[in-house]
Chain A
């Protein structure tokens, strides 16, 4: 059975426990949601899954094989892709070249990489952006390009770190449709990290809630919606971003 999973994963930064004993499973074709207040450890989890952060305990495994010790580029070549909270496009390169870089990183020739990049921009629905310099794109387009870049080479898993941040309702709806297609048409296993909890409840089959590095709740959207623990976690931190979350949950 094919899956990407963590087993009792822990990360500590000089005494701060960013993750403690986290178990999580992502399956091809499914969208798993990961939510939790600021500083809960969501990005840290993605960093461990993609080799950017070594765990202090526990293991990550792909189809039962441990990924410990692999470098980020090696993990990417095993079919686990990610996006970044800050976008991190190659700002001086054209959009098409941003996508081409992944093909090249995966060992394709430039011609092959370009052909796939063109097809991918079409698939995402942004062919017109092809020759725009990435650094000049508005936020929303930047996010889509980042997703396109991660999808090159048809990864088995994609980890999206707050792809809807800063998007309007309509833009977030477009993004939802795209994420759904990534799972259904590509058969990709998606991990969706979002502060837009409405979007997560709407899209995901299964949701994991992190708070202070620990999983406090898992389950279906309905279970999460009704969970007192989840409400409590978001109330505990008084950040403004949590208010809409609480509204969605109630």
Chain B
């Protein structure tokens, strides 16, 4: 049996899980609940994008929110009505100023745009490995954030870029999340994915097996950059406004902690980490808003969700360092997968 046939049940199960969430949102008829599920789908896209690189290469990246930033602003440039762009972003070149694409086309270009920059940065960064690579990705994030926070005429600096068409339908987000899952699966069972995991686990033997680790890391970096860019574009369409700090440290922390909790070495872990932690966060949001029992209202202080995320992440790291899924994948048979990458 081919490796695709052997492992296809994993992305199928994950897609079914996401479809079930979408149907719940639709049938609930509740707008806030719909938005909650959209947020979950966005995080699935971002955390799966992160997994494509981190899970297969073993290099922790603190920089991927930078690709989300590139994608989010690309969506803004491509989809805000020209009239508004003229006042908000006067420095855009004419062809871009006069262009207005539908959101989905903007998202595709956003993915390509982020992938191009992933290729540029990755060309240099992917020669590094381990902690040096991680720190370099963080430097990349800081650079992107600084440029977008200062380039007034095309990014409005730290002011909000408003007027991004808001997409409220849940389906585009669902489709994009499922697409991200299948892209991650396809990469992980490809020769590039297998080679990269071999280089992650035993770099010396991988080199002696003909594997060019920096090249394979670069491939994963570009693909994950594209997924993060697409996620950034949809993120922008879900709230209608972007600032550089939308895509900075908080987002880095949230996506990384979800990946760590779910299990860095597992696609199923990436998706489940998002779903479980988002559920937890949502529960805490309700508590923050206050719960009335009889005549008393219990409310927990603001900011507790980040603290809780941190606590959960630390607990997982201490008790189950490879995360909930611990390098294994959901599949029909429950047989041990021959390649734990998927």
Q: Which residues of A line the B interface, CB within 8 A?
A: 50, 52, 71-73, 76-77, 81-82, 84, 88-94, 96-97, 100-102, 104-111, 113-114, 131, 133, 149-150, 152-153
Encoded as 1 (CB less than 8 Å from any A CB) or 0, chain B from 326 to 339 comes to 01000000001011
Residues on A with beta carbons closer than 8 Å to the beta carbon of B198: 90, 93, 101, 104-105
Number of interface residues of B (CB under 8 A): 25
**Are B202 and A88 in contact (CB-based, < 8 A)?**
yes
**Are A90 and B207 in contact (CB-based, < 8 A)?**
no
Encoded as 1 (CB less than 8 Å from any A CB) or 0, chain B from 301 to 315 comes to 000000000000000
Interchain nearest-CB distance for B333 vs A (Å)? 14
Assess whether B316 is interfacial by the CB under 8 Å rule.
Answer: no
**Are A110 and B190 in contact (CB-based, < 8 A)?**
yes
**Are A89 and B202 in contact (CB-based, < 8 A)?**
yes
Assess whether B340 is interfacial by the CB under 8 Å rule.
Answer: yes
| Residue on B nearest A82 in the bound complex, by CB | B208
Encoded as 1 (CB less than 8 Å from any A CB) or 0, chain B from 223 to 256 comes to 0000000000000000000000000000000000
Q: Which residues of B line the A interface, CB within 8 A?
A: 2-3, 189-191, 194-195, 198, 201-202, 204-213, 327, 336, 338-340
Besides A89-B205, A133-B336, 20 other A-B contacts (C-beta < 8 A): A50-B208, A52-B208, A73-B209, A73-B210, A76-B207, A76-B210, A81-B208, A84-B204, A84-B205, A88-B205, A89-B202, A90-B202, A92-B327, A93-B201, A101-B195, A101-B198, A110-B189, A110-B194, A114-B3, A150-B208
Residues on A with beta carbons closer than 8 Å to the beta carbon of B212: 71, 73
Residues on B with beta carbons closer than 8 Å to the beta carbon of A131: 338
Residues on B with beta carbons closer than 8 Å to the beta carbon of A91: 201-202
| Residue on B nearest A100 in the bound complex, by CB | B194
Question: Which residue of B202, B210, B339, B340 contacts A77 across the interface (Cβ within 8 Å)?
Answer: B210
Interchain nearest-CB distance for A118 vs B (Å)? 13
Question: Which residue of B189, B202, B210, B339 contacts A102 across the interface (Cβ within 8 Å)?
Answer: B210
**Are B191 and A113 in contact (CB-based, < 8 A)?**
yes
Task: Give complex CA distance A152, B211 in Å.
Answer: 13
**Are B339 and A97 in contact (CB-based, < 8 A)?**
yes
Task: Give complex CA distance A97, B3 in Å.
Answer: 11
Interchain nearest-CB distance for A18 vs B (Å)? 18
A-B CB pair tally, cutoff 8 Å:
93
Q: Known interface pairs A91-B202, A104-B191, A104-B194. Does A84 touch B208 (Cβ–Cβ under 8 Å)?
A: yes
**Are B339 and A52 in contact (CB-based, < 8 A)?**
no
Question: Which residue of A71, A76, A133 contacts B209 across the interface (Cβ within 8 Å)?
Answer: A76
Q: Known interface pairs A110-B191, A111-B2. Does A92 touch B209 (Cβ–Cβ under 8 Å)?
A: no
Residues on A with beta carbons closer than 8 Å to the beta carbon of B208: 50, 52, 72-73, 76, 81-82, 84, 150
Residues on A with beta carbons closer than 8 Å to the beta carbon of B191: 104, 108-110, 113
Q: Known interface pairs A84-B204, A97-B194, A110-B3. Does A105 touch B338 (Cβ–Cβ under 8 Å)?
A: no
Residues on A with beta carbons closer than 8 Å to the beta carbon of B204: 52, 72, 84, 88
